[in-house]
Chain A
Amino acid sequence: MFLAQSSPFLKPELSVSKMMLVVTMLMIPGVLTAIYVFGYGVLVNIILAIIFALTFEAITLYLRRRPIAVYLKDKSALLTAVIIGVALPPLAPWWLTFVGLFFAIVIAKQLYGGLGYNTFNPAMVAYAILLISFPAEMTTYWQTPAMLASQFEGQTLSLLETINFQLFAQLPAGMTIDALTSATPLDIVRTAVLNGSATIDEIHAEGNAFGMLGGIGTEWVNLAFLAGGLFMMRKGLISWHIPISLLATLGFLSLLFGSFELDSNPSPLFHLFSGATMLGAFFIATDPVTASTTPRGRVIYGAGIGALIYIIRTWGGYPDAIAFAVLLMNMCAPLLDYYTQPRVYGHKADERDDEEAS
């Protein structure tokens, strides 16, 4: 029986698997920088996350009677795992990663229908849930950045010592967790500003928050993710709309408010190069499944995330805001898609409005 098969017959230029793999690869510069700055904990996190992600993915696929090999090969779980791994505090205990990946893969992704069907960004669902459930662990296990270690007489951990701590919560004799960790620059600035305990200038003077561009240590991680992101954009893996509008909005808002109250508002550069800004702009907000898809929709989506990041960072209860901003905009994506449909060739500009009116 002849079965009609439609054109086109040219080999497709890209596959989901390849796309996910390339995106993951382009995170490597950022990941390496993070390992340099925050120690081996980042590496351990990522490896644990990958193991948990693939295991959870395989188990749920099996329970859902889906072809396991096909969907493991798509490498979307790998990308989620790397994002979570790099977003978690570097000295996070293993169970934090475990719980995070459970929520990301099982709840946020597979229970919604698996690849392509989740409404919310799995990595950010995991991060938000962990942040709400385990606020202490999520904020205190940040190893002091390498740049500050000597200044604060902090000790660093070897790879084995890191593994030992993360898996069995055992530190080498004579070390305390307090000596190893310190608050992140965003946290320091937010706490100081909210409590009114110090002005920006005073924090500057202390030298434990501001680097050359943004937060000390994190600025380098951000730069590396920016490089990877720009390369992705150049390669056409992501469109410019979301990252550019996100960064522009964040920069504009911090400039706007910063110029009113110089004392309590860090500079736009600090916002752009601290915390997970670049990771969020290029690798998290651009997650295709949960983002808006129309050109105008993507600009609004990115701008919304940028604005929410600034709002939550400045007035909210958490030091960084990528997760909440992204999740809130995820909810808006379908609506954005609906109201920002491009004008189709040969149609009048206001046709859709007419249809709705009638």
Chain B
Amino acid sequence: MSQPLPASITRTIKDTLRHLWSFPGGIKLSGHKSLSNHQPISTAKIAKQLIIPLSQHIGHASEPIVKVGDKVLKGQILGYASGPVSAPVHASGSGTVVAIEEHLIPHPSGLSALCVFIDTDGYEQWIECSPLISDSSSTDDNQEAVTHRSIATLSSHQINQQIANAGVVGLGGALYPSAAKLNTAEKMHADTLIINAAECEPYITCDDVLMRQRPEEVILGILLLKKVIGAKKCLIGIENNKPEAYQALLNTISGYNNSHTDAQIEIVQVPTLYPAGGEKQLIQVLTGREVPSQGLPMDIGIICHNVATAAAVYHAVYRGEPLISRIVTITGSAIKQPQNMEVPLGTPIRDILNQAGLDENKVEKIIMGGPMMGFSLPSIDTPVTKATNCILVSEKSELATPPPAMPCIRCARCSDSCPMSLLPQQMYWYAKARDLEKVQDYNIFDCIECGCCSYVCPSNIPLVQYFRYAKTEIWDDERERNKANIARDRHEFRKERLEKAKQAKAEAARLRKEKLAKKKALDAEQAKEKEGLSQSNDNPAKSSSADLIQEAIARAKAKKAQQQSQKKNTDNLSEAQQKKIDEVNERRRKKADSEEI
């Protein structure tokens, strides 16, 4: 270019000379990137049968909403997000749902998970896409201005809803649903958007070719992301071993930066040192700040997205297309034509390997992801998922089957290379002894499993596997403990319930008995009371039988006396009569006295 550079570009170039920080440790690796990054992105043939796992993200698996026998169109939703941290899954080809069942998924465990099987019809018939804004990829002179204006017309919520519906997840490997991440970032007012374009793992070039060949998509996606969170600053971190991609982005950005000052995006080249593409490391290199332990970048006002995620956001908003395909690097010395391929999700890995030319005699190991953090595939009949950034097919000389591990000689090469400043030699010691408490004291949960320590270990100790083992054991212990606690509570509750029931029963029995007793007593009382009513009121006191007799006697006497007092006819009697009467009375009295005694 002979023309003088526009101001924005000189500014951007100046900005690339901005002060960079560094992270501790790290290792230099040979990239092997030129194997696959020269060819244009090819397109995978549509497979006869697509196997689409319902869980292609962190969080809850999607809930299937199609039935066996349903006809589906390309882009049609197969399963909806089943929680705040979840993402929908879409059909990546038109055809018929023939089964919804468990199938091997690409996962280090070699386990199965629920997948939707679609027999494709080959028509590739799309559902009706509803983009939020149009790309106007016409020859409009003021294209950027139009685009930008149209982004400005959208609300943050609107864009994020579109991203959520499209099932976009972090394509850098984390697979965290992007919409959920953006939501939190917006709420926490993240002011810096960092785009991870470092792609530090050897062999992988899918982001590299994406940036080289589709820089527009990346930049527009970034503008959208920026809009959603309302970030003031945006930095793209790219390793300096990708000059072509850097240049492509730079050219595209200069247009936008020129026309809109608030669209300012800085692109920064960072030194090629594994693992510069680790989220925490990239943040440290670009800003000199550290994400707090157990925290998120948002805690320091930063949100980090991958370039491929940005491109997926572009597709969701400008084209209305859900995330149903991704660029996969197919590389390794056992591949005849290493290349990058746009592959519909759910395509069996066998298909794309065949398309790229697999040299079956040479195959030693098939790895999904890079050689540092990927995993050995349990089978090539597993499908491509949102996580599949690279399929590395190695020959024997390329990747080693681990030689027998020797004892640790405490050379500290591991801790010298650890980008997190951990002490792998100590963590190994305790992980091997299954001392899960001590291993946490040495901050095992800060380990990012980058593999530097295992790579430099002269004793070939599979340190990363020890740490993964220890982590999953700790999680398992935690689950067990939680389960035990729930069981204890439920058992205590049951015991209490049974005790209560028993008490209630005993209480009821007692009550019944009491009631019976009361009734009896009541009856007796009533009888007594009746009797008491018939007796004189002047004698309410309870009386013994002797008293009763006395009373009876008294009553008899009183009666007699009454009778006597009432005998008026004896008043006027003769002396003889009186005498006789007296004698009789005397006799009676004597008799009565004798009786009384």
A151 contacts chain B at the CB level, 8 A cutoff: no
A62 at the interface (CB under 8 A from B): no
- Contact with B372, one of A10, A114, A295 (Cβ below 8 angstroms): A10
User: A6-B375, A15-B460, A294-B415 known; A345 and B399 CB under 8 Å?
Assistant: no
| Chain A positions within 8 Å of B408 at CB level | 116
**A5 CA to B469 CA in the complex, in Å?**
11
Of residues 1 to 52 in A, which have CB atoms within 8 Å of B's CB atoms?
Answer: 2, 4-16, 18-19
Contact A116 B410 (CB under 8 A): yes
* A344 on interface, CB distance cutoff 8 Å: yes
B458 touches A11 (CB 8 A): no
Whether B412 is near chain A, meaning CB under 8 Å from some CB there, is yes
Q: Are B410 and A5 in contact (CB under 8 A)?
A: no
Contact B280 A346 (CB under 8 A): yes
Q: Which residues of A contact B290 (CB under 8 A)?
A: 345-346
Residues on A with C-beta less than 8 A from B406 are: 15-16, 70, 74, 115-116
Nearest CB in chain A: distance from B249 CB, A: 28
Instruction: Judge whether B420 and A344 touch: CB under 8 Å.
Output: yes
Q: What A residues does B407 contact at CB under 8 A? A: 113-117
Q: Does A343 contact B (CB under 8 A)?
A: yes
B122 adjacent to chain A (CB < 8 Å): no
- Say which residue of B110, B371, B446 sits within 8 Å of A9 (CB atoms): B371
Q: Tell me whether B394 and A9 are in contact (CB under 8 A).
A: yes
* Cβ–Cβ < 8 Å partners of B295 in chain A: 346
Chain B 465-478 interface mask (CB, 8 Å, partner A; 1/0) = 10010000000000
> Closest CB of chain B to A149's CB: distance in Å?
41
Q: Which residues of A sit under 8 angstroms from B455, Cβ to Cβ?
A: 8, 10, 12-13
Which A-chain residue is minimally distant from B466 (CB atoms)?
Answer: A6
- Within B254-299, which residues are at the interface with A (CB < 8 Å)? 280, 284, 290-295
B465 in contact with A6 (CB, 8 Å): yes
Q: Report the bound CA distance from A18 to B409 in whole Å.
A: 13
Is B464 positioned at the interface, with any CB of A under 8 Å from its CB? yes
B29 beta carbon closer than 8 Å to chain A: yes
Known: A2-B110, A8-B372. A16 touches B423 (CB 8 A): no
Contact for B376 among A5, A114, A343, CB less than 8 A: A5
Please count how many residues in chain B sit with their CB below 8 Å of the partner chain's CB atoms. Answer: 65
Across the interface, A345 reaches (CB within 8 A) one of B284, B370, B465, namely: B284
Interface residue A135 (Cβ < 8 Å from any Cβ of B): no
B348 within 8 A of A: no
Interface of A is mostly: loop
Which residues of the partner chain A approach B540 to less than 8 Å between Cβ atoms?
Answer: none
Within 8 Å CB of B29, what residues of A? 10
The reply to whether B412 and A294 contact each other, CB–CB distance below 8 Å, is yes
Interface residues as binary, A279-304 with B (CB distance below 8 Å gives 1, 0 otherwise) = 00000000011010111001000000
Chain B contact surface mostly: loop
B459 interface residue (CB < 8 Å to A): yes
Encode contact with A along B336-380: 1 for CB under 8 Å, 0 otherwise. Answer: 000000000000000000000000000001010111111110100
Judge whether B410 and A288 touch: CB under 8 Å: yes
Docked complex: A83-116 residues within 8 A CB-CB of B: 113-116
Min CB gap A237→B, angstroms: 9
Q: Per-residue 0/1 for B562-591: is the Cβ within 8 Å of any A Cβ (1 yes, 0 no)?
A: 000000000000000000000000000000
Instruction: Check B403 for interface membership: any CB of A closer than 8 A.
Output: yes
Residues of A within 8 A of B375 (CB): 4, 6-7
Interface residues of B in 20-61 (CB under 8 A from A): 23-24, 29
- Separation of A344 and B108 alpha carbons in the complex (Å): 28
| A317 contacts partner chain B, Cβ-Cβ < 8 Å | no
- The B-contacting residues of A in range 189-239, CB under 8 angstroms, are 239
B399–A10 CB distance below 8 A = yes
Chain A residues in 8 Å Cβ range of B464: 6-8
Is B207 interfacial (CB 8 A cutoff)? no
Tell me if A347 is interfacial: C-beta within 8 Å of chain B.
yes
Kindly state whether residue A342 has any CB partner on chain B within 8 Å.
yes
For window 374-421 of B, CB contacts with A under 8 Å fall at: 374-376, 378, 394, 398-400, 402-404, 406-413, 415-416, 419-421
Contacts A16-B458, A114-B407: A8 and B293 contacting too (C-beta < 8 A)?
no
Tell whether A293 pairs with B410 under 8 Å between CB atoms, given A8-B371, A11-B400.
Answer: yes
A-side contacts of B468, CB under 8 Å: 6
Q: Are A4 and B109 in contact (CB under 8 A)?
A: yes
From the candidates B409, B412, B421, name the one contacting A115 in the complex (CB within 8 A): B409
Q: How far is the CA of A116 from the CA of B428 in the complex (A)?
A: 13
Contact of B423 among A2, A291, A293 (CB under 8 A): A293
Are A12 and B409 neighbours in the complex by a CB distance under 8 Å?
A: no
> Which of the residues A114, A117, A345 comes within 8 Å of B419, measured between beta carbons?
A345
Q: Is B457 an interface residue (CB 8 A)?
A: yes
Contacts of B131 in A (CB 8 A): none
Q: Report how far A8 CA is from B460 CA in the complex, Å.
A: 11
Q: Are B280 and A13 in contact (CB under 8 A)?
A: no
Q: Residue A170 at the B interface, CB < 8 A?
A: no
CB nearest neighbor in A for B291? A346
Q: Does the CB pair B376–A9 fall under 8 Å?
A: yes
Alpha-carbon distance between A248 and B416 when the two chains are bound, in angstroms? 22
A19 CA to B457 CA, complexed, in Å: 11
Inter-chain CA distance A12–B462, complex, in Å, is 11
Residues from chain B with a CB closer than 8 A to the CB of A295 are 416
Determine whether the beta carbon of A239 is less than 8 Å from that of B412.
yes
Given contacts A4-B110, A344-B446, contact A9 B409 (CB under 8 A): no
Contact A288 B400 (CB under 8 A): no
Distance in angstroms between the alpha carbons of A186 and B295 in the assembled complex:
58
CB pair B365–A347 under 8 Å, yes or no, is no
- A259 interface hit (Cβ, 8 Å): no
A341 CB-CB contact with B under 8 Å: yes
**Bound Cα distance A13, B458 (Å):** 8
> Would you call B458 and A7 a contact (CB within 8 A)?
no
Q: Give Cα distance in the complex from A82 to B354, angstroms.
A: 56
A348–B438 Cα distance when bound, in Å, is 19
What is the distance, in angstroms, from B3's C-beta to the closest C-beta of chain A? Answer: 45
* Contact partner, B365, options A9, A291, A293, A343, Cβ 8 Å: A9
User: Are B367 and A9 neighbours in the complex by a CB distance under 8 Å?
Assistant: yes
| Among B371, B425, B465, contact of A5 (Cβ-Cβ < 8 Å) | B465
Q: Which residue of A lies closest to B295 (CB)?
A: A346
CA distance A344 to B419 in the complex (A): 9
- Closest CB in chain A relative to B288 CB, distance in Å: 12
* Cβ–Cβ contact B443 & A11, under 8 A: no
B311 CB, min distance to chain A CBs, angstroms? 26
* A interface residues, Cβ below 8 angstroms from B: 2, 4-16, 18-19, 70, 74, 76, 113-117, 239, 288-289, 291, 293-295, 298, 337, 341-347
Beyond known contacts A12-B457, A345-B280: 15 more, CB 8 A cutoff: A8-B373, A9-B374, A9-B394, A12-B403, A15-B406, A15-B459, A113-B407, A115-B406, A288-B411, A342-B415, A342-B423, A345-B420, A346-B291, A346-B293, A347-B443
Name the 4 nearest CB pairs between A and B, nearest first.
Answer: A6-B465, A8-B451, A116-B407, A2-B110
Q: Can you give 13 contacting A-B residue pairs, CB < 8 Å? A: A8-B451, A9-B367, A9-B372, A9-B399, A11-B400, A16-B409, A74-B406, A115-B406, A116-B459, A293-B425, A345-B446, A346-B280, A347-B443
